[in-house]
Structure formats: C-alpha cells, structure tokens
C-alpha cells in the first residue's frame, strides 16, 4: 500500500517553510536536484501538485496547504520522541527579547512552536521597544534579542531587510505650504534621530503632534490621519502614501543577536524556531 514517507515530508516542509527549493535543500543538506526529485516523488504519492512557482521561489498549492500541518506534526512528533528515548530532550531557561510590534503575531508562533518541540525549556520573554535589548544582552539579562538596527554587526543574523519612509493618510493635507504634523518616538532611539534629521535636512516645517514609545503607537497615529510618521515602506497601501517632499529612504535591518557566551543546543533550538517564524 502506498504510504507517506517521513523523509519526503521533511523535504516538503523545508521547501514550504523557506519558499525555495534551493533554500530548502540547504536546510536539509541535500543537493537541489535531489530535493526536487523528492518533491516529485511526494507529489506522485499524493497524486497532485504541492507547489507552484511564485517569483523566484515557490508557494504551496491548496493541496500543499493541507499537507503542511501534517508534515509539521509528524516531524515534530518523531524528533521529540527520538530525543526523549535517547535522553536528549532539552531543558533549562532562555530569555528572549522581541519588539512589541512583532509580538502580536510572531511571538505566539515562536512560543507555540518552541513549546511543542521542547516542552521542558522555560521561556522568559521581554516584549518592548527594543531600544535596550543590546544593553540587556551585554549585561546578561537576555540570551537572544530580535530588534531593528540601521546596520548589522558582525555577530548579527539578518532576519529581514526593510526601508523606512515617511507615510501619511492619503486624505491628509500634506502640502508644503502647511505645517506638517508628525508622530515620533518619545525617547532616544535611532528611528527618532533619523526622523528628525530627515525633517531638518528637507527644511520642511513641522510640529510634533504625537509621541509614543512603540511602532504600534506611531502606526496608529499615522493611520488615524492626525500625523505623518516614519514607517516601513511595506505599510504603504490604499490608506497610506509617501509624503511628497520627504523622499527619504532609510535602511533598517531586523536582526537576531545573541549574548556573549549564549551557546549550546537550547540556544540553537530557539534560534531555529525564530528563523522559521520570520521566514517568508
């Protein structure tokens, strides 16, 4: 009788989570041709296509979407069972910092996935603006932190690259003859510094109408239409548009940084779950 093979499911999972046959092959330490062959074998077994091309990568089809949680459950169960039987299950405590603007959606995925894989490890989570994460790493208060930086350091692992631009509601009057109301962070951080430097360099008249301590607050102020703000370029949509005359594009890099000396299987396991949570 035809059966699903766990090895094929691992290959499918690697490609699905990375969005690329090449990246999936690197994760499972196989060649691209061998990975493609395994995907074809799995598609022959289930009798339908599991991926379709999308840009330079691939995305799951409807059938692939149905198979994805099954593959995750099977591989997770096999790995945890093997670890338990061999006495290799992880334990201990890890402290992670994650910005509040990522905590609503991404943090639950990290906690849920890591908890299922390693139920004996206790996670302590600090969710805040991220400004003090580097200091917390240096002092040993955090083991791993995820935060935005203007430029990555040598020890950083890049999770995502972004561009910051000035955005405002499309129905907001942002003409140059008006004083522009702006929303800024209310404490020292490099986003605030970049915002003020850009305003001053452009010569644009402005007044600070809203201050907040999180990206969530700045985003809310901008979307409400009371002020313009420096936000991720990807947030431009039917409601928000770039502010004319403030054509300033500032790179921003979301990185994962470890404390000095933070190493071992438990740290590696958490790092892997973080990578998966932020993968495309």
pLDDT for 174-214, tens place per residue?
A: 887 788 999 998 777 788 888 888 888 888 889 999 988 77
SS3 8: helix
Residue 64 — very low, low, confident or very high, per pLDDT cuts 50/70/90? Answer: very high
End-to-end CA distance of the chain: 36
Kindly state the average pLDDT of the residues 83-109: 73
149 and 217 part of one domain = no
Q: What is the pLDDT of residues 206-215, one digit of tens each?
A: 999 998 877 8
Q: What is the pLDDT of residues 50-59, one digit of tens each?
A: 999 988 889 9
What's 199's domain CATH number?
Answer: 3.40.190.10
Last residue of a domain, one of 42, 60, 85: 85
24 and 140 part of one domain = no
Q: How far is CA 279 from CA 196, 243, 274, in A?
A: 32, 30, 9
139 and 174 part of one domain = no
* Cα–Cα–Cα angle for 6, 64, 32, rounded to 5 degrees: 65
Listed range (79-88, 160-169, 174-183) with the worst mean pLDDT? 79-88
> What is the Cα–Cα distance from 277 to 106, expressed in whole angstroms?
6
179 and 244 part of one domain = yes
150 and 96 part of one domain = yes
Query: Closest by alpha carbon to 147, among 107, 100, 110?
Result: 100
In-domain check, residue 207 = yes
213 and 245 part of one domain = yes
71 and 96 part of one domain = no
Tally of structural domains, the chain = 3
106 and 222 part of one domain = no
In-domain check, residue 187 = yes
166 and 147 part of one domain = no
Residues 6+ apart with CB under 8 A from 260: 137, 138
Report whether 8 contacts 38 (CB < 8 A): yes
51 and 98 part of one domain = no
Give the range of the structural domain holding residue 238, as residue numbers without chain letter.
Answer: 161-252
Residue 167 — very low, low, confident or very high, per pLDDT cuts 50/70/90? Answer: very high
153 and 270 part of one domain = yes
166 and 148 part of one domain = no
Residues 6+ apart with CB under 8 A from 11: 24, 28, 30, 35, 38, 39, 42
In-domain check, residue 1 = no
């Amino acid at each position: 009788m035809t059966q699903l093979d766990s090895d094929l499911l691992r290959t499918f999972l690697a490609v699905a989570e990375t969005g690329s046959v090449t990246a999936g092959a690197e994760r499972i330490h196989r060649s691209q041709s061998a990975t493609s062959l395994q995907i074809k074998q799995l598609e022959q077994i289930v009798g339908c296509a599991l991926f379709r091309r999308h840009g330079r990568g691939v995305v799951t089809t409807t059938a692939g979407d149905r198979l994805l949680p099954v593959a995750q459950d099977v591989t997770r169960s096999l790995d945890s069972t093997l670890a338990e039987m061999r006495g290799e299950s992880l334990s201990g405590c890890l402290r992670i910092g994650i910005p509040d603007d990522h905590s609503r959606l991404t943090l639950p995925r990290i906690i849920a996935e890591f908890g299922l894989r390693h139920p004996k490890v206790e996670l302590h989570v600090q969710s805040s603006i991220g400004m003090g994460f580097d200091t917390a790493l240096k002092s040993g208060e955090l083991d791993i932190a995820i935060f935005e930086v203007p430029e990555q350091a040598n020890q950083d692992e890049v999770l995502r690259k972004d561009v910051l631009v000035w955005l405002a509601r499309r129905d907001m009057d942002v003409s140059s003859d008006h004083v522009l109301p702006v929303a800024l962070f209310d404490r020292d951080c490099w986003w605030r510094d970049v915002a003020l430097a850009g305003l001053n360099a452009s010569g644009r008249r402005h007044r600070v109408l809203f201050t907040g301590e999180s990206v969530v607050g700045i985003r809310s102020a901008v979307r409400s239409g009371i002020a313009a703000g420096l936000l991720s370029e990807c947030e431009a949509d039917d409601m928000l548009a770039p502010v004319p005359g403030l054509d300033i594009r500032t790179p921003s890099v979301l990185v994962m940084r470890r404390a000095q000396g933070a190493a071992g299987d438990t740290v590696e396991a958490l790092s892997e779950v973080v990578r998966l949570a932020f993968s495309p």
